[in-house]
Amino acid sequence: MTRFSAAQIAMLINGTTEGDAAAEVGGFGKIEEAVAGQLSFLANPKYEDFLYTTGASVIIVNESLQLKQPIAATLIRVADAYTAFATLLAKYEEIMSQQLTGIQEPSYIAKSAKLGSNVFVGAFAYVGNNVQVGNNVKIHPQVYLGDNVHIGDNTILNAGVKIYHGCVVGKSVTIHAGTVIGSDGFGFAPQADGSFKKVPQIGNVVIEDEVEIGANTTIDRATMGSTLIKKGAKLDNLIQIAHNVEVGRSTVIAAQAGVSGSSKIGNGVMIGGQAGIAGHLQLGDGAKVNAQSGLGKSLKPNTSVTGTPAYNYSQAIRAQAVAKNLPEMEKRIQDLEQLVKQLLAEKLNA
């Protein structure tokens, strides 16, 4: 593996070195486990004690960190160690992915498909008619791209991703293994005889730039129009996004959450794991839905809710605090009732 000096790394992340700027690293390690020749970082104060025992040669730390004792490693001080380390890992991943180019066999690429430069197509991939793939796209093994799919520059489709016909994926998008984009929305019209008639789903899914979607997530195509995932949104593993949903810019949704059809989620919204969002709701910008919440009504901007049915987060926390004291409160009420009965009896006998 290529080795980099502390000085070179500091230039990449706009940091300043403290110690031996020529110290070299050729890999990464967690601060509690790193050995000589590895780079680590410290962002969480809970791990500060490992700073003085780690074997790492170079450590990225916050500018504000005050050392309690001397250390052997070279420090790179930055404004935000966690963000700087993430930036460094992204650059490393970019370098590694650039080494993947060419078309592996066996794979199928339709004659009408158009592939940009420096594209990688893994074995057993399928690229349908009139598919357009941008530059530097990585299509890993067993990916399926249906007819008329568009994939933007620098996008990564990991193994087993399926993108149905007519869907659009923007630039610098990452979609993890097993995710399905553009399967039919769940639309069935009830009939007089008790059966259900399928409503054809003729829309598509549009994923804007810089979105990341976790493994085994499903995003349904719209009945008409588009199911839309806007720029910078981050979706975890095992999420269900139903037909005609809109997910706003820089919104984050944790694993096992589900969003029902035609709900509109604003920008910068945070949805916790296993939360359920009913259909046709509006979630305002900056709203927060706690894990395992069941949301049955729309939310105003910057509202925080929890519970099933979900209600105001602050009220819920106060209610939980009171609930813990209910047994004691019940006893106090019984004592007060007994005291009132006693006082009434004394008054009647007076």
Pairing between β-strand 16-18 and β-strand 270-271 as defined by DSSP bridges: unpaired
Residue reference for tokens 């209610």 = 319
Is residue 280 flagged as an active site residue? no
Annotated catalytic residue, options 140, 150, 243, 280:
243
Q: How far is CA 95 from CA 3, 58, 99, 154, in A?
A: 13, 20, 7, 12
List b or e across 287-308, with b for residues whose CB sees 16 or more CB atoms inside 10 angstroms. bbbbebbebeeebeeebbbbbe
Alpha carbon 208 to its chain centroid, in Å, reads 15
Cα dihedral 281→285→290→292 (10° resolution): 30
Paired with 305 in beta bridges are 289, 312
Paired with 235 in beta bridges are 213, 253
The Cα–Cα gap between 180 and 223 comes to 17
Enter the tokens of residue 158.
């990991």
Enter the tokens of residue 60.
């990225």
Which active-site residues does the annotation give? 243
